[in-house]
Amino acid sequence: MENLLLCTDGGSRNNPGPAAIGFVIKTENGQVLKKGGLFLGIATNNEAEYRALIEGLKEAKRLNPKHLTCFLDSSLVVNQLNGVFKIKEARLRKLIFEVKTLEQEFESIRYQYIPREKNKEADAIVNRILDEKAGYPQNTTLR
């Protein structure tokens, strides 16, 4: 495949608190190729956002696209990855290093911010996992 789209989301309830990730990999015309998610245990929201991207990149790599566009609803993460914001937290630096290592598997990679409303599929995966794994009531809003 030439070009793929990756939508990721990570969230933590009570930040830090129970955290989960979700990702959706699509073709340019919107066909879903792979969806996934994972319960992380206790993490911050920013850690979860990075872990979601890392897991999504690993899965996308298996599909062997040349170009990948990543859509995230975390403006902080997008701006850090695009070099607009500095990375101050040591824990995040380790995660960014992992992202930068995975980037080398693609001919080109782009990070783009999207509002949460446009990232519903990945967000729904996160909330479903947190509802199931963390014992929270269904449809609890993730912050």
User: Please, which pLDDT band fits residue 1 given cuts at 50, 70 and 90?
Assistant: confident
Q: Each residue of 72-125: pLDDT tens digit?
A: 999 999 999 999 999 989 999 999 999 999 999 999 999 999 999 999 999 999
Residue 115 forms part of a structural domain: yes
User: Please, which pLDDT band fits residue 133 given cuts at 50, 70 and 90?
Assistant: confident
Mention every residue, 6+ apart, whose C-beta is less than 8 A from residue 22: 8, 9, 10, 35, 36, 37, 52, 121, 122, 123, 124, 125, 126, 129
Residue 141 forms part of a structural domain: no
Residue 92 forms part of a structural domain: yes
Tell me the percentage of the chain whose pLDDT exceeds 70.
93
Average pLDDT over residues 10-32: 96
Residue 125 forms part of a structural domain: yes
Report DSSP state, residue 53: H
Mean pLDDT across the chain: 93
Residue 13 forms part of a structural domain: yes
Number of domains present in the structure of the chain:
1
Domain range enclosing 49: 3-133
Q: Each residue of 89-99: pLDDT tens digit?
A: 999 999 999 99
pLDDT, greater one: 90 or 139: 90
Q: For the domain that residue 99 is a member of, what is the CATH number?
A: 3.30.420.10
Residue 138 forms part of a structural domain: no
